Every structure is written in structure tokens, then in C-alpha cells.
Amino acid sequence: AFNRAPPPIRALHQDVVNKIAAGEIIVSPWNALKELIENAVDAGATTLEILVKDGGLKLLQISDNGHGINKADLPLLCQRHTTSKIKEFEDLTSIGTYGFRGEALASISHIAHLTVTTKTRESSCAWKAYYTNENLTPIKPGQTADPKATAGKQGTQITVEDLFYNVPTRRRAFRSSSEEYAKILDIIGKYSVHCKGVAFCCKKYGEAGTSLNVQSHLSMVDRIRTVFNSAVANDLIPFEVANDRWGFRADGLISSANYSAKKSTFLLFINHRSVESTAIRKGIEGVYTQFLPKGAKPFVYLSLDIDPARVDVNVHPTKREVGFLNEDEIIEIIKDEIATRLGAVDTSRTFMTQS
Ligand code: ADP
Ligand code: MG
């Protein structure tokens, strides 16, 4: 093999580049939906309605009542790196919105059939645009045919059909649509708890009832009651801690030592984005082992706001993980606070039983 002439290096066709990039950003139906939820919340929506067919592979539709999109912006919507949220790289250090790279919709349009219907407050009608990856003249890949006028109320409806239709290996990786639907409900449930003032509802296509329905006026505790159950909602302790030196503020609701589950539930938001952090999870679970019987697990909802200048949201294409400075110090302070709160409740119980 070593005496073979090297194969020539060639530039990949743009279509292949786009598909590869899209597959790194949109890895599953639930993570496509997460991007769409974040876009709707960024647009100031207070009502999100979600419709799902076949675990999101056949259909993912999200309708919001946010500010909508200007007709003039529709041709740009699914171009890569088009966004209304940042202008300079430095803007990433003060980012207040969920999105920032302008890649989610572009990615989805490369690996699904995407239709956008939107109406701003100023527009007299709604506009509907269709985006495709195929070279259908006169539509070029990533572009839209002229938007069509249609009836509609203010806000945006994004319809994603046949996700991964042109990425067969990825599509085949999703064996069970009920498993995918469970993951979709999981991510909607997380945002339903976190996004106070926003109503969420999710329906399975063809079914009359809703799988999840959270009204906008509900308190945090009632959001947890609706999404999870009353047992946990009745046993929550609020906590809050801030620290100027490490530039962060954390608050949330955590289960008391009287509550235990077989599996732990972790809702972690960093700067209002649902993320995973093994370090934070392990640290907090460690605190609970001092308070719970062996094998018993807690419920933790933690919203962490860190000075955007200290966070690197750009470490992972799916934005699933974020890096931040002084992680160890911040986790220690949160652990101490949780231990204090759990201990305080414990003491009052003991006191009550003694008296
Ligand atoms: P990003 O969120 O990183 O800017 P996206 O590809 O997710 O990139 O979205 C591109 C742009 O489309 C956004 O910057 C926003 O202007 C617009 N947009 C997307 N979804 C909505 C929505 N639901 N309502 C209003 N505008 C939207
Ligand atoms: Mg976005």
C-alpha cells in the first residue's frame, strides 16, 4: 500500500460540506426541537405548541406567538451563519439569547423538509416559505422559493418533515419512535419548568389529548407538579446563592431529605440553556448521599447564571456542554449551599418531632 501514489486532495462539494456540518449540529429529533424551542423563546414567545409524529422523524412542528420574521429576511433564514443575534465574535461574551451562530435552521434545512410560516405585528398577512436541500429549480439549496402570502396570526410556525431523509445511516440509528418521543417530552418538560411565564403544550400527531400541557401563569413549583408529580412538588426547597468573585448566581428548587426516587432527576440550565454537566451532577449527588438512605436519589432544578464573559458556549456543536471558568470553586459553593439548606430542613423536622 505504501508504494501507491497518494490520492489527490479535492474540495468537497458544498452540498456534502453542508450535510456533514448539519449532522454535527442536529444529531437527533429532540435536539432539533431544542433549537426550535430556544428560537421561539428568543423571539419573545409566551405560547409554544408542539406537534410530533413518529418520534419527530416524520414531523416536528412548533408554533409560537413571538415577534415573527420579516418577509425580507426569509431568503436569508436558512443560509449558514445568518443570525439576528450577534454581529462580532466579541458579542459572544455578552450573549443574552439562546442562539448565536445562525446554524440551526440552516442545518435542519439540509437534512429535512422545512416550511416556515410567519407573521410580524406590522405585516398584514403571514408569509410561508419552503426550504430544501435539493436542487429544485428555481430553488437553490438552502434557499427558498418566493414566500407565499397566507392567512395566519402573529408568530412563527416551523414545520420539519422527514428529518434525516437524506442521511440514511443516521435515520436508521433511531429504532423506536416512542423512545424518541420520550426524549422530546423530556426536553420540553425541562424548558416548561425553566421558562416562567411561557405556556407549553405537546401533542402526538393523530391523538386528541395532549402529552404535556403547562399553562403560562403557573408558578415554578406548579410547573414541576405538572411536568413531574405532586410528590416531588410538595417536597421542594428553594435555594439561592451568588458570588461576585467567581461572577455567578445560582438558584433553583431541590428535593428535601424527605423525598427520594430510584433515579435522580437533574434539570440544569446555564445562562438559560439546558445543558449537561457531569461535574455538577456528581458534586450535588455527593451532597445528597449524606442526607438520603442508600440508593435514594434527589430531584434538582438548578439555574446557573454566569457572567457571559466567563463562559465558553462554543465548545460543542450541539451546545450541549458549556465550559466556564472556576468550575471547581463554583461547584463547591453550590454544594455548600445545598448542604446547608438540606441540613436546615432536617433540623427543623427533628425539632418538631421532639416538641
Ligand atoms: P440563531 O438562533 O443562532 O440566530 P437559527 O438558525 O436558530 O440561528 O435562526 C436564525 C434566525 O432566524 C434567528 O437569528 C432569528 O432571527 C430567526 N428565527 C428563527 N426562529 C425564529 C422564531 N421562532 N421566531 C422569530 N425569529 C426566528
Ligand atoms: Mg437558534
Q: Do residues 200 and 233 both lie within one domain?
A: no
DSSP code for 76: T
- The CATH number for 63's domain is 3.30.565.10
110 and 207 assigned to the same domain: yes
Q: Do residue 311 and residue 166 come from a single domain?
A: no
Kindly give the confidence (pLDDT) of every residue in the chain, 355 residues in length, as a single tens digit, with 9 standing for 90 and above. 678 888 888 887 877 777 877 877 888 999 999 999 999 998 999 999 999 999 999 999 999 999 999 998 888 787 766 677 656 666 655 555 545 567 889 889 989 999 999 999 999 999 999 987 765 555 665 566 678 999 999 999 999 999 999 888 888 888 899 999 999 999 999 999 999 999 999 999 999 999 999 999 999 999 999 999 999 999 999 999 999 999 899 999 999 999 999 999 999 998 888 988 889 999 999 999 999 999 999 999 999 998 877 776 665 666 666 777 888 999 999 999 999 999 987 555 544 444 3
Whether the CB of 54 sits within 6 Å of ligand 1: no
Q: Count the neighbouring beta carbons within 10 Å of the beta carbon of residue 120.
A: 17
Q: Is 64 in the pocket of ligand 1 (CB under 6 A)?
A: yes
Strands 212-214 and 199-204: antiparallel
Tell me: do 74 and 151 sit in the same domain: yes
- Ligand with smallest separation from the Cα of 106: 1
Q: How far is the CA of 84 from the centre of ligand 2 (A)?
A: 10
54 and 111 co-located in one domain: yes
> Residue 156: CB within 6 Å of ligand 1?
yes
Whole domain around residue 83: which residue ranges?
14-214
Question: 46 with 198: CB under 8 angstroms?
Answer: yes
Q: At what angle do helices 29-42 and 104-111 cross, to 10 degrees?
A: 140
Structurally, how many domains does the chain consist of?
2
DSSP single-letter state for residue 50: E
Q: How far is the CA of 321 from the centre of ligand 2 (A)?
A: 16
DSSP string, 196-235: TT-EEEEEETT-SS-SEEE-TT--HHHHHHHHS-HHHHTT
CATH number at residue 291: 3.30.230.10
Please indicate, yes or no, whether residues 210 and 81 belong to a single structural domain of this protein.
yes
332 in a structural domain: yes
Give me the residue label for grid cell 402570502: 149
User: Which parts of 120-264 are beta strand (E)?
Assistant: 126-131, 148-150, 155-161, 199-204, 212-214, 236-243, 248-255
Measured from the CB, is residue 105 less than 6 Å from ligand 1? yes
First vs last C-alpha separation in the chain: 84
Chain centroid, CA 299 distance in Å: 19
CA–CA distance, 26 with 163 (Å, rounded to integer):
10
CA distance 329 to 335: 10
Asked if 189 and 233 sit in the same domain, the reply is no
